[in-house]
Amino acid sequence: MATGDSVSPECKRPSTVHRTLDVMGLFCPLPIIRTAAEIRRLQPGQVLEVLADDPVALLDMPNWCKSSGHGYLGCSKDDGGMLRFFIEARSGRKGVKTHGS
């Protein structure tokens, strides 16, 4: 799969972004680890923007969203190679307890 396959040129910044996470200069697995930690701070329905430049994130981010139950809203890439991922926090995430044990 070419790295450009996951980039959507029509992906636009959602009208509301609640947090932005900058993982520029970090490589796999750190962008996903930091994204997972940051999205825990959001309420369901809130949007996290992740700024990255690791091309592996083009594969990792959508797959992580799918496996963790968060909404992958898309990715865009600027001329400088910066990737912008948009992820919607969702409740009832896989592997996360939603009530006391």
Annotated catalytic residues are: 28
Alpha carbons within 13 angstroms on the beta-carbon side of residue 34 total 18
Determine the Cα–Cα distance for residues 54 and 9; give it in Å rounded to an integer.
Answer: 18
Q: At what angle do helices 30-39 and 57-68 cross, to 10 degrees?
A: 40
Determine the Cα–Cα distance for residues 72 and 98; give it in Å rounded to an integer.
Answer: 21
Q: CB 2: neighbour CB atoms within 10 A? A: 7
